Structure 1
Amino acid sequence: MLQRPRRGDPLWIWVLHGWEALSWGLIALVTLITMAGGTPGRRKLGILALTAVLAACYTLVRRSHGNRLPGPYGYLSVLVVALGLLAYLGDGFGALYTVALAQFIVFADSPRGAVLFTGLGALGITAGGSLREGGQPDVFLHNTISSLGVWAVAVLMALLTPRALAQRDERAALRAELKSAQLELAEVQKRQGAAEERERLAREIHDTLAQGFASIIVLAEAARSQLSTDPGRSAQQLRSIEQTARENLAEARVLVGAAPSSGVAPGSVAATLRRTLDRFTQDTGLTVTAELADIDCDQRTRVALLRCTQESLANIRKHAAASTVGVVLTEQSGGAELEITDDGRGFVVADSRGFGLDGMRKRLAEFGGGLTVTSSVGDGTRILATIPLNDRSQVP
């Protein structure tokens, strides 16, 4: 049984169901006209009883969706018999075959079934109408020709309906695929966004909290070892530990959203790097030479240059065993260049698997910049970070 039309169904399906609904209005109208006309009383009662039985079967099938008796084909069988008997009992009831064509298409679940039952309906009204008029051969021929013409229309309807249903199903499948693709894309974007956010947080934690805790550990070990021999130096290192812990606390508040900014104090990039280098010298005792140009840049660029400097200095402290460090910040061709060198033990760049250098590269890539690392065992290390300054629209 053909389901009620849904949004997106082809126009033909809507027309077919509209025709089916209208058919009952026309059946009721013809029945009322017959009841009010000059048809004999017994025939009137027969017509009324047939119409009532047909309506009851239709209602039962519709409400049960064809899951109980009489079922769609049971109803069509009743319809065929009722049309034949109505054509026999009343003049003009043969027209109900044309009116009921849509019901044959709606209730049959295949084109073959629709063609078969519409043919039986045509046969029923032809026989009923011919018998009512005396069964004369010329009358039977006339009724047969009329019924065949209407049956040809029914066959065309039966063939058109599967095509319309196929279009509906194809469109429904396309809509389902589109919805599935949209949901999958949204899920991929969600996972990608979550992964990018985790990576960003990991980089921020590494560049701020992790480095700060590493510095605190180094300073605490140094202060403990010199506590009895150099109390003044130990006191200075304890002050550095306190300051680093406060800075870590501020960074932690930024990371959890309790503070509105990057946690880096405002000021020029040169002044920011100078404070960082002074702290490094104070904590490590290494010789640091710095040439820092006062470059005009926004806060995010300044933070990126600071994080690269902090990461480089942390690597020098942990791995380089250097005695001197050089830091040069210049503006070249619309971009900032930060060069950090040391005279430490060096390393093989290709063998480096640390998170820090990779994090620096990704941070600089967000600005359209890059990182160049030059080092070899025994020859120290050179870090060169570049960030464009002339096209701020590239900055996310």
Structure 2
Amino acid sequence: MIQRPQPNDRFRMRPLHRWYAASWLLLGVCPPIISVVGDTGTTKYWSLALLAVIALCYAIVVALPGNPVLRPHTFLGVLTLGLGAMSCVRGDGAALFIVSLPHFWRFARTPRHSIAFSGVAAAATVVGITLHYGGNVEFFTGNIVFTLIGYTASVLLGLGLVRIVEQSDERARRLSAELESAQLRLAEAHKLQGATEERQRLAREIHDTLAQGFASIIVLAEAARSSLDTDPGKSAQQLVSIENTARENFAEARVLVGSAPQSGLAPGSVAMTLRRALDRFAGDTGLTVTADLPDIECDQPTRIALLRCTQESLANVRKHASASTVDIVLTPHAHGVELEITDDGQGFVVEDSHGFGLNGMRKRLAELGGELTVTSSVGDGTRVLAMVPTKDQV
């Protein structure tokens, strides 16, 4: 069974209902009025009175759908009696009955009620016509035939429309269920994607901060232990570096767990930030480091990205390059900032490198609209070029 709308929605005068109301008045109510205007006697007054009652009840049901007196089924009862009475008074109620058939499908609660009410109205119309002509078959056969044909057609058409509406409602419910299921799957996918992206971000931050710091601590600890007897001063310096690195790792760990400001960096320009990292690297490794670091103003995300790229590049130099010198150049451009890091190490085949560090740098720069270019070959050292656009160029 189809789900019928609430009464206040069902009987509100929508555009289609307005067209039908106008058609019913013009084709159903007006013709009998016009035909009896010139008549005399009781037929004229009875016809006008019956039509007025039917039209008034219709107007009340449509204009006041929530009124407690005249319910829709009450109106159908009045319409049925009115059709029978008009047929009895005039003998030509078939036309008014046929034009009024949509009322039974609009105002009845269910298709069964529609068929029942319209069937009773058809019977009342036939009985009224028969009484009007006093059983003289040759006068009323046509009206009765048209009444029965109209009733049969209305039942077939009404059931067909009900079936279409039921199928449409079922299809709408199925599509709604599919849409809800798709939305749930999409929300779950977004949730999983967000969790994956957050894990990747944390992994990148841990790799660029804590992992690099721990690697430095291990290298420094091994060096301090090996020189403890032969060069205590150098071992003491290395222990200081271990302590500083551990403190930095502790600060970065607080940032990652959310108990410290998100930057995790000491205040200062990008040049000062990079200079501190280079001094630490030169002191820990003993490599020759040359730097051209002009004082450039940039926002905090750019400053962090340039520092992480520098730290990752220096860590790779320490672990893999076997280099003796490292050169770093920071260059401002109209379109952004470029950071170039080169070493004279043993180099590598870029296409064969799939490490987490290079991918992490690329992703970090891509989030700011920048890019990373790595140039290297075996025996020729490595060049890392990081470009970060200014905000108005992103």
Using the size of structure 1 for normalisation, the TM-score is: 0.68
- The amino acid that maps onto 1:218 is V
Determine the structure 1 residue equivalent to 2:248. 247
How far residue 275 of structure 1 moved from its aligned partner, in angstroms, is 0.7
3-state DSSP of counterpart to 1:344: coil
Q: 1:99-248 residue pairs with structure 2 within 5 A? A: 101-102=104-105, 107-108=110-111, 137=137, 141=141, 144-145=144-145, 147-148=147-148, 151=151, 152-248=153-249
Tell me if the contact between 2:72 and 2:107 (Cα under 8 Å) persists in the aligned partners: no
3-state SS, counterpart of residue 263 of structure 2 = coil
Q: Post-superposition shift, 1:23? A: 4.6
Paired residue for 2:46?
none
For residues 171 and 105 of structure 2, what CA distance do their matches in structure 1 show? 23
> Identity over the aligned pairs, expressed in percent?
58
SS in 1 for 2:296: coil
Matched, 1:25 2:74: yes
Deviates more, 1:331-340 or 1:158-167: 158-167
Structure 1 range deviating more: 355-364 or 335-344? 335-344
- CA distance in structure 2 between the aligned counterparts of 1:8 and 1:345, rounded to whole angstroms: 81
Give me the whole-angstrom Cα distance separating, in 1, the residues matched to 2:292 and 2:2: 84
Aligned partners of 1:327 and 1:336: how far apart in 2?
A: 13
SS in 2 for 1:346: coil
Residue identity in the other structure for 2:332: E
Distance 1:8 1:300, change over 3 A: farther
Rounded Cα–Cα distance in structure 2 between residues aligned with 1:8 and 1:164:
16
Give the corresponding residue for 1:282.
283
Q: Distance in 2 between the 1:100 and 1:146 partners? A: 18
* Structure 1 residue 173: Cα displacement: 4.5
Q: Is the 8 A contact 1:312 1:383 kept in 2?
A: yes
Q: For the structure 1 residues 123 and 304, does the alpha-carbon distance in structure 2 shift closer, same or farther, using more than 3 Å as the test?
A: closer
* Residue aligning to 1:292: 293
Q: Match of 1:266, SS?
A: coil
Alignment: residue pair count = 330
Seen in structure 2, the aligned counterparts of structure 1 residues 101 and 333 have a Cα distance that, compared at 3 Å, is closer
Q: Distance in 2 between matches of 1:302 and 1:249?
A: 20
Q: How far does the alpha carbon of each residue in 1:300-321 deviate from its partner, in whole angstroms, 9 at most, with x for none? A: 1111111100000001111111
Partner of 1:318: 319
Gaps of 5+ in 2: 21-60, 82-95
1:114–1:158 contact (8 Å) kept in structure 2: no
Aligned-residue offset at 1:189:
2.9
Tell me which residue corresponds to 1:4.
Answer: 4
**Which 4+ runs in 1 deviate beyond 6 A?**
6-13, 18-21, 27-31, 95-100, 117-120, 126-136
Q: Deviations over 1:2-38 (max 9, x none)?
A: 433379999799x9xx99994532477799x9xxxxx
Quickly say closer, same or farther: Cα 1:157–1:207, change in 2 above 3 A: same
Does the 8 Å contact 1:126/1:140 carry over to 2?
no
In structure 2, how many angstroms separate the alpha carbons of the residues matched to 1:164 and 1:104?
A: 16
Deviations 1:35-80 (A, max 9, x none): xxxxxxxxxxxxxxxxxxxxxxxxxxxxxxxxxxxxxxxxxxxxxx
Mapped to 1, the partners of 2:76 and 2:317 lie a distance apart of 96
SS state at 1:350 partner = helix
The answer to whether the Cα contact below 8 Å between 2:336 and 2:388 also exists between their aligned partners in 1 is yes
Aligned mates of 1:2, 1:139 — CA distance in 2: 43
TM-score by length of 2: 0.69
Query: Are the equivalent residues in 2 in contact too, given 1:326–1:342 (CA < 8 A)?
Result: yes
**Which residue of the partner structure matches residue 66 of structure 1?**
none
Q: Secondary structure at the match of 1:290?
A: strand
Amino acid at match of 1:162: R
1:269 maps to a residue whose letter is V
Alpha-carbon distance between aligned partners in 2 of 1:168 and 1:386, rounded to the nearest angstrom: 57
Segments of structure 1 that go 5 or more residues without pairing to the other structure are: 34-94
Give the drift of 1:279.
Answer: 0.5
How big is each residue's C-alpha offset from its partner over 1:282-317, in whole Å with a ceiling of 9 and x where there is no partner? Answer: 111111111112122111111111110000000111
Tell me what 1:267 maps to.
Answer: 268
Work out whether residues 105 and 111 of structure 2, in 8 Å CA contact, stay in contact via their aligned partners in 1. Answer: no
Distance 1:349 1:142, change over 3 A: closer
The answer on whether the counterparts of 2:255 and 2:262 sit within 8 Å (CA) in structure 1 is yes
RMSD of aligned residue pairs (Cα, Å):
4.3
- Give the superposition deviation at 1:276: 0.6
CA contact (8 A) 1:118 1:154 kept: no
- Offset from partner CA, 1:184-211 (integer Å, 9 cap, x none): 4433333332222222221111111111
